[in-house]
Amino acid sequence: MDIEAERQKTDAPVQIEVRDLSKVYDSRGVETVALRDVDLEIDRGEFTALAGPSGSGKTTLLNMIGALDRPTKGTVLLEGVDLETLDDGELSQLRLHKLGFVFQSYNLIPVLTARENVEFVMELQGVKASKRRLLADDVLGRVGLDGLGNKRPLEMSGGQQQRVAVARAIVSRPEVVLADEPTANLDSNTAQKLLDLMHELNHEEGITFVFSTHDPMVMDMADRLVRLHDGQISTDEVRRQVE
């Protein structure tokens, strides 16, 4: 499949489509149902929060949308492309060029500096070194880490590492950002500034954001709030329509 041709932007508003999605984990013969028959559509440019208690399935759903895990049953489509039809190389290219990730565990590379961590995806994309550095320093400043680009993750607090992870996710302006508890380990002031930046990118550049969260601040800012319980969607509230 020529996924470069298949994945061109279209005028279709639905960007992410989840159909009859289920995920069952099997640990030594003990099955745990993480998702059960989930249907969800997310339009291009939405600012959506997935909320629910621990074990509700929100992180699993994010991982399925981001092609980090495969469903037991059902389908995930990104701009009309069924992720199950892509091989590992095609999935890697899709994640590299279309998706930005903020992981709850940060997933920073410990031997690299903050700047180098932010530059890493751009380096894989083939962006020139001089441009990478300018973009990385700019976004580090925007997330409140100006002057800390030479520090390595272990020299930074958890909140600072979280901001590096956010900077890495947004620096190349992906079409979709998937963020798992992006305000965890942040004080309320820093969290608000990060959310304001992501909201700005959402409105000005049309980047779609999907958050997994427990944070009332994220839920309040979301244009759409999808609540999960026991692996199923319990409520789906649209507060503001995408323009």
Per-residue pLDDT of 108-141, as tens digits, reads: 999 999 999 999 999 999 999 999 999 999 999 9
Examine the pLDDT at 5 and tell me if it is beyond 90.
no
Considering 1-5, 163-167, 239-243, the range whose residues carry the highest mean pLDDT is: 163-167
Predicted pLDDT at 242: 67
Q: What confidence tier does 104 reach under pLDDT thresholds 50, 70, 90?
A: confident
Task: List residues bridging with 24 in a β-sheet.
Answer: 33
Write out the CATH class of domain 44-55+87-238.
alpha beta
Strands annotated E in 188-231: 208-213, 224-229
Predicted pLDDT at 11: 54
Examine the pLDDT at 241 and tell me if it is beyond 90.
no
Examine the pLDDT at 63 and tell me if it is beyond 90.
yes
Q: Would you say 124 and 132 are in contact if contact means Cβ atoms under 8 Å apart?
A: no
The CA distance from 179 to 176, in Å, is 10
Strands annotated E in 8-159: 14-27, 30-43, 47-51, 73-78, 81-82, 99-102
Q: What confidence tier does 35 reach under pLDDT thresholds 50, 70, 90?
A: very high
What's the residue count for the chain? 243
The CA distance from 119 to 122, in Å, is 5
Mean pLDDT, the chain, rounded, equals 91
Q: What confidence tier does 161 reach under pLDDT thresholds 50, 70, 90?
A: very high
pLDDT 10s digits, 212-229:
999 999 999 999 999 999
The CA distance from 138 to 144, in Å, is 10
Predicted pLDDT at 7: 43
- Cβ atoms within 10 Å of 128's Cβ, excluding its own: 10
Examine the pLDDT at 155 and tell me if it is beyond 90.
yes
HSE-CB for 177 with a 13 A CA cutoff = 32
